[in-house]
Copies of this chain bind each other. A is one copy, B any other.
Amino acid sequence: MNETKILLSERDIPQHWYNIVADMPNKPLPPLHPATHEPIGPDALAPLFPAGLIAQEVSGERWIEIPDEVRDIYALWRPTPMFRAHRLEKALDTPAKIFYKYEGVSPAGSHKPNTAVAQAWYNKEEGVTRITTETGAGQWGSALAFACQLFGIKCEVYMVRISYDQKPYRKLMMNTWKADVFPSPSDRTETGRKILAENPDSPGSLGIAISEAVEVAAKNEDARYALGSVLNHVLLHQTVIGQEALTQMEMAGEFPDIIVAPFGGGSNFAGIAFPFLHHNLTKGRSVRAIAAEPTACPKLTRGVFRYDFGDTAGMTPLLPMYTLGHDFVPAAIHAGGLRYHGAGVLVSQLLKDKLIEAQAVDQIDSFEAGVTFARAEGIIPAPEANHGIAVALREAEIAKEEGVSKTILINLCGHGNFDMASYEAYFAGKLGRLSLSQDDINTAVGKINTPEIAG
């Protein structure tokens, strides 16, 4: 059999992050003040983020140097391996060549530490001693806990109450890395106390947890806030994935026709796709980059492009994004990382400009694809990752029908070791199909009262 893994050495860890803003034909629109709806500048973000990250958030520079100390920590798991999925190709009997880049080798088990380490470093550089964040199922919270521990920063995680109770292992992982984890709503914030007063048994939500984490950061000079996706600087940090993948594809003598990645807020999609889009935008390439979202939360395929809040409560700046409305509540699919109402600004603009594509995947199809993958390749993927695999399998099937050999690259963003209960539900036939009706979509979108975008 031919080579299975394409491996790089530590010397190949990228030296720069790639900022796609420099190459975008239409630059992203500015964020707006949540109350005045006027464009806001970098200063407005200062209570929440260190200056180094704000500078990246608004930068137009194409390449931004990665600090040595961040690259040293990346070396704990980077460069990540790329695999040629020989066994999966055989199982599918497809002429397509399928590759996957595997981010599950990080200590936290997903791509999230790529930005968590960078964010922790910029905070440390500016004397921040405490970082707050929210987490749902726990992938992001554990990545930030890991990163903060390496720099001696106190990490405070507001974890959605129902996940806190039902999924203790991610919480324990955060504790092992010394983070303090609080069930949200908590009595530590005004937001939390207000909600608990109304409903002492509140199961919490990501929107509430964001509000709590933001409140603590805003009110404490020593503290800052960190977000795991959506924002420009978060997507930026993930581009180490795609840069490595470019080198690895070259070593394999290939260039992908299609790249697929699951889509929640956009960070892991951007991470693999943007460095290849650089070749589309500046070097005449034409790789198709496909974002795979759940049919239960189809903001890219069925949402609208307009200004909306990043959180449920409407505390964040208004961002120009594809959205289903900031109070849209997706069905409780197991791919918790994809249950977000909106899409990151950069990805939204690229989709608007038809420079990327999106496809929706039902949860049942996603698990079917994930199980097919696990039985062929060994790795049991996270439920989020299964969405990307499902789209790859679709495209491989099309290649087979057309009798052409396509090269498909999947971003396998994490393992499913903490998600086996979701596989249990799938095997037990407890999952239903979750397509939204056009009425559901109209109702959700119709409620949005934030500013529209002209054109």
Contact = CB atoms under 8 A, between A and B. Distances in A.
A175 B427 contact: yes
Nearest to A424: B172
Contacts of A10: 3-5, 7
Contacts of A405: none
Interface in A365-381: 371, 374-375, 377-380
Interface string A1-29: 10111010110000000000000000000
Interface residues of A, number: 44
A154 to B, nearest CB: 14
Nearest to A72: B1
A420 B173 contact: yes
A346 to B, nearest CB: 29
Contacts of A424: 168, 172
A76 B380 CA distance: 13
A6 to B, nearest CB: 9
Given A76-B4, A418-B417, A423 B177 contact: no
Nearest to A1: B72
A105 B104 CA distance: 9
Interface of A: 1, 3-5, 7, 9-10, 72, 75-77, 83, 87, 105-109, 146, 149-150, 168-169, 172-173, 175-178, 371, 374-375, 377-380, 415, 417-418, 420-421, 423-424, 427
8 closest cross-chain pairs (CB), A and B: A107-B378, A417-B417, A4-B75, A169-B420, A172-B420, A1-B72, A172-B424, A76-B378
